[in-house]
Structure 1
Amino acid sequence: MGHGGNVIEELMADHREVEDMFGRIRAMSGGGQALRDVIDQVTIELVRHSVAEEQYLYPAVREHLDGGDALADREIEDHRQVEDLLKQLEDLRTDDPTMGSVLRQLMDEVSAHVEDEETNLFPMLRTACTPEQLDDLGDKVRRAKAMAPTRPHPAAPDSPTASKLLGPGVGLVDRARDFVTGRGK
């Protein structure tokens, strides 16, 4: 969850974690509880990661980058698509015939988003921000991930202010549900 370092290092470590989970999914030969467990782990990581980016990274993109509003809007739209796919996966049984295609679509969407962030957005941010600003953002992102929801909530507002106000409460409920059900262990 919290890797340390500046915001770019933190988020890239998250990216590697999710890629590793995708590799585990690709290596599985069947469904069942093992697949559900990895899907739950992917969901938890992606939801926390997205919430933290929307609360802190994308406002910084808007503030520090030329054309930052359009960049942030595009990234948030990517998140919305991923969250819709995560919600579909949450509602599907692992033996559902559509599970494989929804998983492939999720992995494709996330991989394209990661490639775009690491190739375009992160280098621009590294140039536009001071090391101290990037370190501060890293600290904020780590704190946000610790309080963020762990389940997809596609209908939730995606503004940074609403997310900062509602996210911790929703996150608390999600983590309580996870504890009771054993999800994400």
Structure 2
Amino acid sequence: MGQGDGGNVIEELVTDHREVEELFGRIEALPPGAEDRRLYADRATMELVRHAMAEEDYLYPSVRERVPGGDVLADDELDRHARAERIMKDLEGREADDPEFDRLVGMLMREVRTHLADEERNLFPRVRAECPTVILDGLGDKVRKARKTAPTRPHPSAPDEPPADKTLAPGVGLVDRMRDAMTGPGKPY
């Protein structure tokens, strides 16, 4: 996602927010049914998966450890991620001219925009107030390093050994492939 220039974790994540919003804007600028809406929806999905993983792997553990009430905050954020991911899974495989595509992409944009605005208004200021600069900078470095090894596009990597082959295949979708490519097949996120 965002290629920050050495900023702390919050600056990196805000850069991600702007990139996702840019992709949403491109979807909205195209007429319903336009084929490129599918392309931009897939790119937004990939960006959102990467962003969620960065938050889940690096930000939320610090929220739990350092921010008063952090367990509740992190759990709420994880619930929001799960809701967005369910919408992204429902969106997979739908062509831009499918009437459900517009409904689902609209739901995804509303869900994600609400989540991102809430993070910037509530979560990020609390993290800044409670986490020392050295921690925030270190987490920013980790996010940047993780991005360098993250795939730039999904790679099918569904497990082919029992029992995992029965849980993910057939029909492993974009969200699952992205998660598998970054964490390994069948591993929790």
TM-score by length of 1: 0.80
Contact 1:51 1:144 in 2 (8 A): no
Select which of 10, 22, 25 maps to 1:23. Answer: 25
Q: CA deviation at 1:148?
A: 4.3
Q: Secondary structure, in 3 states, of the residue corresponding to 2:99?
A: coil
CA distance in 2, matches of 1:75, 1:145: 21
CA distance in 2, matches of 1:30, 1:100: 7
Match in the other structure for 1:83: 85
Structure number with the higher helix fraction is 1
Deviations 1:26-62 (A, max 9, x none): 1101434311211111011000000111011100100
The percentage of counterpart residues that share the same residue type is 49
Match in the other structure for 1:3: 4
Q: Secondary structure, in 3 states, of the residue corresponding to 1:95?
A: coil
CA distance in 2, matches of 1:17, 1:71: 24
Select which of 112, 133, 137 maps to 1:131. Answer: 133
Please give the root-mean-square deviation of Cα atoms over the aligned residues, in Å: 2.0
Q: Which amino acid aligns with 2:13?
A: L
How many residue pairs end up in the alignment? 161
Match in the other structure for 1:43: 45
TM-score by length of 2: 0.78
Match in the other structure for 2:169: none
CA distance in 2, matches of 1:143, 1:169: 17
Deviations 1:74-99 (A, max 9, x none): 00010011111111111212111111
CA distance in 1, matches of 2:112, 2:148: 21
Alignment of 1:152-167 (within 5 A): 152-153=175-176, 167=182
Q: CA deviation at 1:131?
A: 1.2
Deviations 1:113-154 (A, max 9, x none): 001100001000111111111110111122233444653139
CA distance in 2, matches of 1:57, 1:146: 18
Q: Which amino acid aligns with 1:119?
A: R
Match in the other structure for 2:122: 120
Q: Which amino acid aligns with 1:10?
A: E
Contact 2:33 2:97 in 1 (8 A): yes
Match in the other structure for 1:100: 102
Q: Which amino acid aligns with 1:105?
A: M
The structure, 1 or 2, with the larger RCO (C-alpha pairs under 8 Å, 6+ apart) is: 1
Q: Which amino acid aligns with 2:35?
A: Q
Computing the radius of gyration over CA atoms, which structure comes out larger, 1 or 2? 2
Comparing 32-41 and 97-106, the one that deviates more:
32-41
Q: CA deviation at 1:112?
A: 0.6
Match in the other structure for 1:34: 36
CA distance in 2, matches of 1:60, 1:144: 17
Q: Which amino acid aligns with 1:93?
A: E
Q: Which amino acid aligns with 1:77?
A: D
Q: Which amino acid aligns with 1:144?
A: A
